[in-house]
Amino acid sequence: MNINEIQTPAILVDLDVLQHNLNKYAEEAAKYKKQIWPMIKTHKSIEMATLQRQYGATGFLCGTLDEAEALCEAGFDNIMYAYPVAAKVSIDRVIALSKKCNFILRMDGMESAVMVDEAAKKASVKIQYTLIVDSGLHRFGVEPEQAAEYVNRISSCDNLIFKGISTHPGHVYGAACKDEVSKYVLDECNAVATAVNVLKAAGISCEIISSGSTPTFWGAVCDANINIYHPGNYIFHDAIQMSTETASEEECALSILASVISHPKEDLFICDAGAKCLGLDQGAHGNASVSGHGYVIGHPEVEIYSLNEEHAFLRTEGVNPLQIGDKIAIIPNHACSAANLTDYYIIIDSEENVLEWIPVDIRGNRTRKLSK
């Protein structure tokens, strides 16, 4: 089946491009003897995680406990959860995961450490953790200079095992162009170096020194301290990565196929993919480098200037390239958000033939379903 026969809107993933992306990052990491533990909240799919493992991923970072449990159930090991926990139900899930696999929790404070420790004591389980260090995103994390102080305080929690430090330079998405990315790489590497040195001076060594984002990967991969990288978006790339030249148009694996269905005015076309396919994201963490709501492949002159739930509004500069009935493929601004809006990816080859459907099987609220 060719993509022209598919009901639109549809989320397509070009397998060759996806494999190119996985291979490119894997090769670069291998060059510096670094590990990649991808952030899987980008794709929320066991099959995609399996592909990442085939391309050298030795562990995984999760944005939800659902993702961590699904990986564990599927037999994956080396599973890290990216954020602190405080709710009892989450702590119980952390304990269950720690019994089943090499699970690592991230923490950034004493209060939640004590909560997890007390529950772990009752369950006779040891919980491994990394301390989150703030490298500038200001979402979780202690100041790098305070790392030893926190680890020393948390060491009074007998059932917690310190494994190292983690950070995420997500504020890189404030970069408006390629040159600006290097400033965030410096933030990332300096924060890590400061924390590592402060810990070393206190006689504390780190087995895991983990960090990462897709744009900073290329500058930070040769860092002397970081040993595990957590790119997420790299598997697909998107219009935001194009805006900082982290990826080219040809390296964007995920697109939304839409049909042009209306031409009510001279300068207005409407297609059948809206906010419920493309997402409303115009850039994470304050990015102002993209305009509009996605990039129409092959048509840089077309602007998606507005979205309804099910429709996008398009206008063109100069000669109009569109016609009613045309199929267009749109690279979303933020592929991680778009991927969370579909039940499956339609996998295509370079000739636009459909190869298979891959379920997005780890999105939504699995807990609610399980506890019904």
Ligand X SMILES: Cc1ncc(COP(=O)(O)O)c(C=O)c1O
Interface with ligand X by CB under 6 A: which residues?
39, 42, 61, 82, 168, 170, 212-214, 230-234
Query: Which of 212/274 has CB closer to ligand X?
Result: 212
> What SS3 class is residue 51?
helix
Distance CA 66, CA 78 (A): 15
Query: Which of 112/214 has CB closer to ligand X?
Result: 214
CB of 169 to ligand X, least distance (A): 9
Distance CA 152, CA 352 (A): 56
Distance CA 255, CA 18 (A): 12
CB of 285 to ligand X, least distance (A): 9
> What SS3 class is residue 131?
strand
CB of 124 to ligand X, least distance (A): 30
Please compute, for residue 300, the number of CA atoms within 13 A of its CA located in the half-sphere on the CB side: 5
CB of 82 to ligand X, least distance (A): 4
CB of 231 to ligand X, least distance (A): 4
**Amino acid letter for position 347:** I
The Cα-based distances of 191 to 128, 136, 197, 204, 223 in angstroms read 22, 8, 10, 17, 12
Query: Which of 189/271 has CB closer to ligand X?
Result: 189
Query: Which of 231/274 has CB closer to ligand X?
Result: 231
Query: Which of 218/344 has CB closer to ligand X?
Result: 218
The Cα-based distances of 296 to 55, 100, 193, 303, 321 in angstroms read 29, 45, 41, 8, 11
CB of 102 to ligand X, least distance (A): 18
CB of 274 to ligand X, least distance (A): 24
Query: Which of 98/241 has CB closer to ligand X?
Result: 241
Query: Which of 221/258 has CB closer to ligand X?
Result: 221
Write the CB contacts of 227 (distance below 8 Å, at least 6 apart in sequence). Answer: 34, 35, 208, 209, 210
Q: In terms of residues, how long is the chain? A: 372
Write the CB contacts of 369 (distance below 8 Å, at least 6 apart in sequence). Answer: none
